[in-house]
């Protein structure tokens, strides 16, 4: 079985629990998800099956939209309510304007430090494994981009909002950082991923409702999953060279304008989907063959 399922994950399940159920229902060994959701989080979790596991990294490399609710005045070890409370502060002096100003401060690019309770690795060890041993290590800040924050609702001590961001953003860290900006601390209490790439909550199938009868109807093709990459049509006379991994430097390759360092969905003029390719100074090459 080859394709992608747009799964809606429920609270209380790990991302691995979702993969395990999909494997069972699909009777497919090669199954992988496209970006971990914490057990207490809900939302869209695309799951790739068979040949589609080749494109996991390419689906993950896209913008995401989250609905989040956080609590001001409390800090925890995990940046969410699952952790141990390590600090409480009075927020009676915080105004709605203060909160809006702090949120606005983080729109755009900023250097974000990931939480200790995350799946990132330090010297080959998952951070959450170190954290569970009571070990805290220095984490390098990573440049993230908060593209938009809207639907802000302030009901102190709670704040909820909708965040559009780039790959690699930790929403728990964003909530924590807003709390630090306000100098009262904050911890995330609810998180729902509304969309990632071309996968939207309204088009998802709940993992509890997935079964052998409906799985094929919910399977999305590799081409559909990659539809956010621009399409490029090359001449069929070059198909064999591209399939064999040759970097083609020939103006006759295509009649279309090709931009450098842009990833394209590559088809030949017989509408055969070859894979994902990119142009650099030395020519055009398929970087992920998907025939």
Backbone angles phi, psi at 166, to 5 degrees: -90, 170
The encoded tokens of residue 66 equal 């989250």
- Assess contact for 232 and 267: CB atoms under 8 A: yes
Q: Which of 38, 98, 177, 268 is catalytic?
A: 38
Nearest-angstrom CA–CA distance, 264 and 231 = 6
Burial class (CB in 10 A: 0-12, 13-18, 19+), 112: buried
Nearest-angstrom CA–CA distance, 193 and 196 = 8
- 261 assigned to active site: no
Nearest-angstrom CA–CA distance, 94 and 237 = 67
CB half-sphere exposure, 183, CA atoms < 13 A: 5
Of 190, 275, 185, 176, nearest to 232 by C-alpha is: 275
- Assess contact for 41 and 11: CB atoms under 8 A: yes
Of 181, 193, 172, nearest to 67 by C-alpha is: 193
- Assess contact for 194 and 84: CB atoms under 8 A: no
Of 175, 219, 225, nearest to 199 by C-alpha is: 225
Task: Please give the positions annotated as active site.
Answer: 38
């Amino acid at each position: 079985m080859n394709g992608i399922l747009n799964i809606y994950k429920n609270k209380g399940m790990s991302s691995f629990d979702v993969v395990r159920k999909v494997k069972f229902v699909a009777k497919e060994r090669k199954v992988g998800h496209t970006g971990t959701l914490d057990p207490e989080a809900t939302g869209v979790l695309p799951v790739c099956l068979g040949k589609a596991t080749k494109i996991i990294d390419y689906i993950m490399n896209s913008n995401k939209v989250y609905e989040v609710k956080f609590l001001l005045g409390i800090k925890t070890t995990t940046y969410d309510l699952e952790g141990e409370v390590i600090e409480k502060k009075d927020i009676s002096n915080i105004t709605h304007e203060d909160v809006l100003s702090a949120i606005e401060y983080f729109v755009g690019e900023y250097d974000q430090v990931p939480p200790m309770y995350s799946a990132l690795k330090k010297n080959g060890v998952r951070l959450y494994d170190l954290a569970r041993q009571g070990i805290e290590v220095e984490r390098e800040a990573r440049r993230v981009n908060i593209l938009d924050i809207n639907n802000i609702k302030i009901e102190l001590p709670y704040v909820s909002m909708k965040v559009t961001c780039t790959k690699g953003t930790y929403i728990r860290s964003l909530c924590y950082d807003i709390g630090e900006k306000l100098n009262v601390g904050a911890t995330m209490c609810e998180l729902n991923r509304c969309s990632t790439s071309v996968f939207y909550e309204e088009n998802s199938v709940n993992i509890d409702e997935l079964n052998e009868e409906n799985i094929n109807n919910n399977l999305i093709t590799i081409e559909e999953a990659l539809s956010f990459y621009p399409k490029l049509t090359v001449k069929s006379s070059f198909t064999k060279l591209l399939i064999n991994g040759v970097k083609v430097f020939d103006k006759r390759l295509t009649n279309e304008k090709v931009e450098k360092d842009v990833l394209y969905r590559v088809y030949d003029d017989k509408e055969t989907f070859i894979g994902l390719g990119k142009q650099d100074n030395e020519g055009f090459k398929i970087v992920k063959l998907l025939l």
